[in-house]
Structure 1
């Protein structure tokens, strides 16, 4: 209720069960001044980066004098400013494993490295482009090539003033693709009044905020790109996570989904999905849980992935369809794309097991760090080989009813590949990030698509530990660091550069110390990778026209309780046992 504070205590989160918590109501937050800062023009030089420890690289870098930094040491650890800058940077793609480094003290303490960081990392490029509502550069513009005429906007496009940061990353072994990718993200995002929460006094930060009108617009833009055919979109709900958001998709006619966990599967089924693929190679108790859900929701067409004949056998007599998972070069799961004989044998094994073969699953997320033209060429080359595999399976007497491709990075590549329109199968794309968008996807997708951020993290400034550092309360337990550093963009504050976070702290370097945000000021953060960021929160504030309309549970956050059936019932929490004895 407006003006009335909630008296309900905030309870700690326990183990996830199969039920949901009731919604809570909240009050409406204070007006703060719209952040306005002058924007310095991007100046670009080209230089050869460090050899030896950082590996040989060649990149584009921001002019050294902009932050009064020495240019002669391209291999320095603290690229973002003097000796106290961020020490780590992302690898080449989202959703391929954590490659950024966290649990750092903001650049003043000893360096720490993530366990799976397998090579030295070094930023060798900075801001190279600038983008506005009325002037959309081509990818060539961002690397110093001649520009082309801006493409016309179709549909509502938010007013935005964007810069793109390219990260050329020196690494060894992390990505085994033959193509060396570049990771890029927005470096700034201009303030838009639609994001203001008018009364933040009662908001505990950090807080996840979602904007339903912008979610609706992003859904509309996606359907427009799919010629209005919602059946072409097998939306991945790893991003949406909320019953509320999945319900919005269902309400617009999107009834086919994919997911990665049994909890996401359960949420999709409960939210009105008609067809859900669990796009993960589940085995053991996880596979038995999928069988349970398939029996519970017999009206939903549930499918799973396999990549070998042993996995096929575990699904005998189950109410599930089977997709063959193809490895397009990401090297995390699937049958090698070139191993057509093995693929044919597995499809035959599915039929012999009395199971329904649904088609091929092909996620080519490894191209997300490539410039648009390179990404399209690489993706289309993979699609050519994928169609060859379809022909091989058909030639062996099998059929391929459906082919699933493309997360958010290669969504445009799949849209303009003619072979899918004439393939004799149902082709579906499976982007999920585009529902909310983030600093990476907005850099990857063409501006004329009309996407805008629909989820931000509210944070408060809590400290001024140094003249040019401000710290807010959005560490990596709030804004995910899995895609690297910086973890986010501070909306409306181009002069604030996020440094390496620790668990609860996010230091920000201020390029204008006298104008740094005061302690207590609320900042709006656009995550670099929104999917795991949403997963960090139990609840989300639903904001309409600046007012908090409701508090929605992040229903598919985390995982289900770890024990099945009777095993779960026989294991009471130890505290309860002690209390009753």
Structure 2
């Protein structure tokens, strides 16, 4: 029996997501060997969104985390994570929700990012009104062109401005370089170093003004091997915990294992070469071009079409895949795939033995 096959697959309705806990633990252990100090790790939980997975990282000694939503931050508070960065600038009601998180989970040190004076002032006003000061990081745009302020004079002035506000405490810089994902490691490193240089310069400029040297949080999965070799900065890979087909193909220097698969079934045999599965847009991340999933036990299958509830494959001989056949797929992009499911089946020794709720897929848990 292959590592991914389930002896009790007949008990699992499809489509489903299945998590291989031993492989998750292996991926966490591998991550720890790739950096000189595990205290420099701040994994992003957007990939897993599961409290039990976070607890596996905590048991391995990882205590700092990064997240993108209030629900993810609350999940981390629920498992008493020591240090949580909301790497998403809170605007409007989210500022109040973040305050409520800070109040409800006092054992967790929460922080957030900001990239402009108006939002920083709004955060400060709400926290200061409750006699609190929230640690904040300046979010830097190092080429992603999505959020953040360019490192330079304006960013320095913003950092200095934060020190004048009563409701925040500026502690560092956040630089996500998600636009860098070249397969060639030499090219990737060159681009990563170029994007990081202005961040390091800004940190020096801040220190030169007499302020404490800022903490730097940088990178994601593609640039993790580069940032891991720097000194003192914190690194934020996330996909490593489950891995996926996209990163497995494009980042060969990172030998993580596929630890989360989608389980699907053949629901119709169309003709001699075409079959239909129950793996539609609602069951695997659909933002990328096809193929969005690679089937381990049907590697030659070609995706012909996909709709909300259906996936049509072309195979060499359809009779080899009768109705009811279970297929195991590696998603191209695991992070949004996980968010499509309410629960995951946990696998040990080729059998599903438990369910883990994907608690942070929701926009709101309690707060």
Tell me the TM-score range normalised by the shorter chain.
Answer: over 0.9
SS in 2 for 1:349: helix
Q: Which of 251, 255, 264 is the aligned partner of 2:59? A: 251
Measure the CA separation in 2 of the matches of 1:203 and 1:408: 32
Displacement, 1:348?
Answer: 1.0
Q: Which residue of 1 aligns with 2:215?
A: 402
Q: Which residue of 1 aligns with 2:284?
A: 479
**Counterpart check, 1:382 vs 2:189:** no
Displacement, 1:358?
Answer: 1.5
Normalising by structure 1, we get a TM-score of 0.60
**Counterpart check, 1:351 vs 2:157:** no
Partners of 2:80 and 2:107 within 8 A in 1: no
**Counterpart check, 1:213 vs 2:22:** yes
Q: Which residue of 1 aligns with 2:325?
A: 521
Deviations 1:140-169 (A, max 9, x none): xxxxxxxxxxxxxxxxxxxxxxxxxxxxxx
Normalising by structure 2, we get a TM-score of 0.94
Measure the CA separation in 1 of the matches of 2:255 and 2:43: 18
Between 1:273-282 and 1:376-385, the stretch displaced more is 376-385
Displacement, 1:236?
Answer: 0.5
Measure the CA separation in 1 of the matches of 2:134 and 2:119: 13
Q: Which residue of 1 aligns with 2:144?
A: 330
Q: Which of 413, 429, 445 is the aligned partner of 2:251? A: 445
Deviations 1:247-289 (A, max 9, x none): 1011111110010110000001111210000000111111100
Q: Which of 335, 356, 367 is the aligned partner of 1:531? A: 335
SS in 1 for 2:245: coil
Between 1:212-221 and 1:404-413, the stretch displaced more is 404-413
Q: Which of 281, 292, 301 is the aligned partner of 1:496? A: 301
Q: Which residue of 2 aligns with 1:105?
A: none
Partners of 1:470 and 1:516 within 8 A in 2: no
SS in 1 for 2:289: coil
Deviations 1:279-321 (A, max 9, x none): 0011111110000101111221111110001111122224421
Measure the CA separation in 1 of the matches of 2:318 and 2:169: 66
Q: Which residue of 2 aligns with 1:560?
A: 364
Q: Which of 218, 225, 229 is the aligned partner of 2:34? A: 225
The 5 A counterparts of 1:267-278 are 267-278=75-86
SS in 1 for 2:3: helix
SS in 2 for 1:240: coil
The 5 A counterparts of 1:76-87 are none
**Counterpart check, 1:412 vs 2:217:** no
Q: Which residue of 2 aligns with 1:432?
A: 238
Measure the CA separation in 1 of the matches of 2:143 and 2:85: 21
| Count of residues in Structure 1 that have an aligned counterpart in Structure 2 | 360
Displacement, 1:367?
Answer: 1.2
Between 1:252-261 and 1:466-475, the stretch displaced more is 466-475
Deviations 1:190-215 (A, max 9, x none): xxx22111012221100110011000
Partners of 1:250 and 1:272 within 8 A in 2: no
User: Structure 1's 514 and 353: CA in aligned 2 closer, same or farther, altered over 3 A?
Assistant: closer
Q: Which of 174, 188, 201 is the aligned partner of 1:361? A: 174
Displacement, 1:370?
Answer: 4.7
Measure the CA separation in 2 of the matches of 1:489 and 1:209: 15
Query: Unaligned 5+ residue runs, structure 2?
Result: none
SS in 2 for 1:273: coil
User: Structure 1's 240 and 514: CA in aligned 2 closer, same or farther, altered over 3 A?
Assistant: closer
**Counterpart check, 1:548 vs 2:352:** yes
The 5 A counterparts of 1:43-442 are 193-227=2-36, 229-316=37-124, 317=128, 318-337=132-151, 340-354=152-166, 355-416=168-229, 420-421=230-231, 426-442=232-248
Measure the CA separation in 1 of the matches of 2:99 and 2:78: 16
Partners of 1:323 and 1:359 within 8 A in 2: yes
Of structures 1 and 2, the one scoring higher in RCO (CA 8 A, sep 6+) is 2
Where has structure 1 moved over 6 Å in runs of 4 or more? none
Displacement, 1:430?
Answer: 0.3
User: Structure 1's 517 and 400: CA in aligned 2 closer, same or farther, altered over 3 A?
Assistant: farther
Between 1:482-491 and 1:215-224, the stretch displaced more is 482-491
Displacement, 1:371?
Answer: 2.9
Partners of 2:345 and 2:353 within 8 A in 1: yes
Query: Unaligned 5+ residue runs, structure 1?
Result: 1-33, 35-192, 565-581
Deviations 1:544-575 (A, max 9, x none): 0012211111111121179x7xxxxxxxxxxx
Greater helix percent: which structure? 2
* CA RMSD after TM alignment: 1.7
